[in-house]
Amino acid sequence: MVGETRRLLIISDIHSNILGLEAVLKDAEQYGPYTDKLCAGDIIGYNANPAECIEKIISENFTAVAGNHDRVGRGDKVSDFNWLAEYAIEKTQKELKSKHINYLQSLEKIYVDPTMKFLLTHGSFGKGREDCYIFHEQDAFGVMQRRLDFNNDTSEGVIIRIPLGIVGHTHIPLYASGLFQKIKVAY
C-alpha cells in the first residue's frame, strides 16, 4: 500500500534456544505491533530445542531465510562447518521430524520483499557468499554492492533499487548506513 508505515521485528541466529526466543518475543511486545516479522536464519544448531524453535517461528508467522545451520540440518552440504557445529547438528537431526525438515527445505537463501524495500539473507549478499560474515564497514560496503549478483533470476535493474539489506550470522548487532562511499557503522 502506498505510504504504509512498515514496522519490522528482526531476529536471527536463534540456534535452537527456545527460552531465548520466547524471552526476545516477550520483550519485543512492548515495541509492537509489527507489520513484518523477519528471521535472518540459523533457527537451529548448537542448543537443545530445534523442533520447538521451528514451530515457534512458524506459529508466529515469521518470514525466514535459510542459514548455514538450517541448510546442514535439512541435508545440504555446507563447507566451513566447525567440529562443534557438526556435533550439534547430529544431535539436532535426531530431534527433527519430517515436518521440521520440510519447513527447513522450504526456506530460500534470500527473501526479497514484494515492495522492493528490503531484502533478507543470512550472511552476506553476492552469489556464493551467503556464509560470509559482515563485521566491519568495509564488509558492509562490499556486500551492499554485491546485492547485484546474488541471484541469477533477479536482474541488476531490480536489485539495485532495494535500499535495505538485512543479515544475521555474526551474532553481533550492527547497523551500517549511508551512501556507498560514506557508510557509517554503529553497534
Residue 70 in the binding site for Fe ion (CB under 5 A)? no
For the beta carbon of residue 147, count every other beta carbon within 10 angstroms. 22
Q: Which stretch binds Fe ion (CB under 5 A): 3-11, 42-50, 149-157, 158-166?
A: 42-50
Ranked by CB distance to Fe ion, the top (closest) residue is 169
Binding mask 125-164 for Fe ion (x = CB under 5 A): ----------------------------------------
Q: Which of 17, 40, 46, 67 binds Fe ion (CB under 5 A)?
A: 67
Residue 71 in the binding site for Fe ion (CB under 5 A)? no
Residue 124 in the binding site for Fe ion (CB under 5 A)? no
CA distances from residue 93 to 2, 90, 97, 132, 177 in whole angstroms, order as listed? 44, 5, 8, 24, 38
Residue 42 in the binding site for Fe ion (CB under 5 A)? yes
- Indicate the angle between helix axes 98-106 and 50-59, nearest 10 degrees: 60
Residue 169 in the binding site for Fe ion (CB under 5 A)? yes
Amino acid (one-letter) located at 72: V
To Fe ion, the closest distance from the beta carbon of 169 in angstroms equals 4
Sequence-distant (≥ 6) Cβ neighbours of residue 88 within 8 angstroms: 45, 46, 47
d(CA 182, CA 109): 28
How many residues make up the chain in this entry? 187
Residue 109 in the binding site for Fe ion (CB under 5 A)? no
Give the footprint of Fe ion on this chain (CB under 5 A). Answer: 42, 67-68, 169
